[in-house]
Amino acid sequence: MKTFKNALVILAGGTGKRFKNKMPKQFNEINGENLIDFFLNRIDTNIFDLILIVTKKSNIKHTKHLLTKFPLLKFIYAEAGKNRQLSSLNALKKLKRYNPKNVLIHDSARPFCSQKLIAKILKSLNKNISAIPYILSPDKKVISKKEFNKKIKLIQTPQGFNYNAIFKAHVSTKLFNAKDDSELLSEKELNFIKGEKLNIKITYPEDLNFFKLFLKPIFKSGIGYDIHRIDIKTKKGLKLCGVNINFNKLIGHSDADVGIHAICDSIFGALSMNDIGYYFSNTNPKWKNKNSEHFLKFARDKLKENNFFIANLDINFICEKPNISKYRKEMISNLSSLLKIPKKIISIKATSNEKIGFIGDGLGIAAESIVQITNEKLY
């Protein structure tokens, strides 16, 4: 039979009374992760042979995705008890047949516990019956003159135990509503180790804001390039970045706004989508002479759907004529209102092709665009 060295118990039986919505707080999702995901994603789960989640039967569905997310881990479940002590006891009973050497009992409401603390607890269990993390409170509670200089210690989870010792303590205790497992141990079995200030407990809805401190912003970039031939038979009708310019128009299925097409492709690229032709085929009569602003709004909606914001947008035109700098301001202003982004993060530049090749001969206009997008709104 496989020997189980380390088991992790996650107590997730709470009903979240302090949270207004019906979903218990441990299953609230922030950026696609609930509190349990958040915790497990940031620790080395491989050091546990077994993870036991204690929750109400009706809430098991909120943890089922963990089985596919961590396919190498063994997950089991125990039913939540009427109070925390009984939930722990149910977990320990369930673990009996696996007989682990160590068990870490953790509250799902403390998702910020680091791998460093877990490693410290396990190391301490090599020599001790228990490893109970604590922090010193910066506040002092004055009870009497004698107490005045005593620093308040606050107990955290995960608390590590020798499995047999904590199981015995639970079975033989006279307490019936202990607020944590260390309360059940005898003085000589207690071993305190330094906890972590950031290992806070999510208690009130506003505590969820702490997640923002832990979430790293995601940045992605995309590149776009487009070129259209100049219709030399015309004298006007050119449109670049939505701005009408008194110059020969470009040939294309839509309004041939080469600038907007390049921008769209860069946004699609940053979102790992297909190119503009995939969504707006140049053989589809629906897009014949279509105002390209429509395509740009589609790209903007895709950013919104995926919860991304533009961090900056850099567009480069390559042409001999017209003189882009004359229209720069107007283009930036137009893009700013179409994309709903500040003007200061848009750059429009232009270069000639030094009279070389197709563009150099004044037969076409090309545009390239690079966009950076982020999941955190910077403005």
Q: Give the amino acid at 97.
A: R
Size of the site for Zn ion (CB under 5 A): 2
Q: Give the amino acid at 269.
A: G
C-alpha to C-alpha distance for 37 and 113, rounded to whole angstroms: 12
Give me the DSSP letters along 44-113: -GGG-SEEEEEE-GGGGGGTTHHHHHSTTS-EEEEE--SSHHHHHHHHHHHHTTT--SEEEEEETT-TT-
Binding mask 212-251 for Zn ion (x = CB under 5 A): --------------x-------------------------
Query: Cα 232–227–335 angle (5° rounding)?
Result: 105
Q: Which is nearer to Zn ion, 220 or 253 (CB)?
A: 253
Work out how close the CB of 332 gets to Zn ion at its nearest, in angstroms, rounded to a whole number: 20
Binding flag, residue 33, Zn ion (CB under 5 A): no
Work out how close the CB of 308 gets to Zn ion at its nearest, in angstroms, rounded to a whole number: 23
Q: Which is nearer to Zn ion, 163 or 287 (CB)?
A: 287
Q: Which is nearer to Zn ion, 67 or 223 (CB)?
A: 223
Q: Which is nearer to Zn ion, 35 or 339 (CB)?
A: 339
Work out how close the CB of 365 gets to Zn ion at its nearest, in angstroms, rounded to a whole number: 10
Stretch that binds Zn ion, among 127-135, 209-217, 261-269, 325-333 (CB under 5 A): 261-269
Q: Give every CB contact of residue 314 below 8 A, 6+ residues apart in sequence.
A: 347, 349, 369, 370, 371
On whether the CB atoms of residues 9 and 85 are closer than 8 A, the answer is no
Stretch that binds Zn ion, among 76-84, 113-121, 139-147, 253-261 (CB under 5 A): 253-261
Q: Which is nearer to Zn ion, 226 or 368 (CB)?
A: 226
Question: What is the bridge-based pairing of β-strands 159-162 and 130-136?
Answer: antiparallel
Binding flag, residue 265, Zn ion (CB under 5 A): no
Q: Which SS3 state, helix, strand or coil, does residue 154 take?
A: strand
Work out how close the CB of 312 gets to Zn ion at its nearest, in angstroms, rounded to a whole number: 22
Work out how close the CB of 360 gets to Zn ion at its nearest, in angstroms, rounded to a whole number: 20
Work out how close the CB of 294 gets to Zn ion at its nearest, in angstroms, rounded to a whole number: 13
Work out how close the CB of 258 gets to Zn ion at its nearest, in angstroms, rounded to a whole number: 5
Residue nearest to Zn ion (CB): 261
Structure tokens of 249? 């128009």
C-alpha to C-alpha distance for 210 and 356, rounded to whole angstroms: 57
Q: Which is nearer to Zn ion, 198 or 227 (CB)?
A: 227
Work out how close the CB of 300 gets to Zn ion at its nearest, in angstroms, rounded to a whole number: 18
Q: Which SS3 state, helix, strand or coil, does residue 33 take?
A: strand
Binding flag, residue 261, Zn ion (CB under 5 A): yes
Q: Which is nearer to Zn ion, 261 or 328 (CB)?
A: 261
Stretch that binds Zn ion, among 47-55, 105-113, 256-264, 330-338 (CB under 5 A): 256-264
Q: Give the amino acid at 76.
A: I
Q: Which is nearer to Zn ion, 15 or 291 (CB)?
A: 291
Q: Which is nearer to Zn ion, 38 or 280 (CB)?
A: 280
Q: How many CB atoms lie within 10 A of CB 220?
A: 16
Structure tokens of 208? 């969820």
Stretch that binds Zn ion, among 180-188, 259-267, 318-326, 342-350 (CB under 5 A): 259-267
Stretch that binds Zn ion, among 160-168, 195-203, 257-265, 306-314 (CB under 5 A): 257-265
Nearest to 259 by CA among 246, 273, 271, 245: 245
C-alpha to C-alpha distance for 372 and 186, rounded to whole angstroms: 58
Nearest to 308 by CA among 373, 378, 369: 373
Work out how close the CB of 226 gets to Zn ion at its nearest, in angstroms, rounded to a whole number: 4
**Residue ranges in contact with Zn ion by CB under 5 A:** 226, 261
